Amino acid sequence: MSRREDNMSLEKLSQNYLEILTNLGEQPERDGLKGTPLRAAKAMQFLCRGYDQSLEEIVNGALFESDNDEMVIVKDIELYSLCEHHMLPFIGKAHVAYIPTGKVIGLSKIARIVDMFASRLQIQENLTRQIAEALQQVTDAAGVAVVIEAKHMCMMMRGVEKQNSSMHSSVMLGAFRQSVNTRQEFLQLIGRS
């Protein structure tokens, strides 16, 4: 997207927030709300920046030859996303593992893959699968496992208003799906056995 298109999009989004405030019965010109439509538009663009990213640019060639064929795990990757049903945040952490087959991926790239997919309107179930399939695609691993634990504001702030609830989702591909022992080792290492 060009800078001009980006500015036009920001302007339209800002106008939408102005209308939202007005439709809520607010007075957007009052002191506390001056500039809020633009700030909200910029925040939403930032929170949804994953739409402008691709797996190729995130990984950026950071795959390295390796003889390692043992499980690699990155635990407790913080994630922040927006529920596509209510556009309210869900916040949590991802645990990601893979079994290399000749290539390992740069460590930070795993967290960046999580961020890219989390920075889109999502449901947790799809987010979990997208992360697993992307890592599988990039590394051609013998197996990939992803577990996400998150608290959903759409369930905590509205609706049933359950503040102590959390959602856990998992996707197991390849060796993690086929081998109970491999899956158990992963779950034990992330403290979920």
Q: Radius of gyration over alpha carbons of the chain, in Å? A: 20
Of 95, 130, 136, 152, the catalytic one is 152
168 is catalytic: no
Of 95, 122, 124, 130, the catalytic one is 124
Of 45, 48, 86, 133, the catalytic one is 86
Of 83, 95, 122, 149, the catalytic one is 83
85 is catalytic: yes
Q: How many residues does the chain have?
A: 193
Of 19, 84, 137, 184, the catalytic one is 84
Among 105, 133, 131, smallest CA distance to 118 is for 131
83 is catalytic: yes
86 is catalytic: yes
Q: Cα torsion for 98, 102, 105, 106, to the nearest 10°? A: 130
Other residues' Cβ atoms within 10 Å of the Cβ of residue 178: 12
29 is catalytic: no
Of 26, 45, 53, 154, the catalytic one is 154
Of 85, 137, 184, 188, the catalytic one is 85
Return the active site residues.
83-86, 124, 152, 154
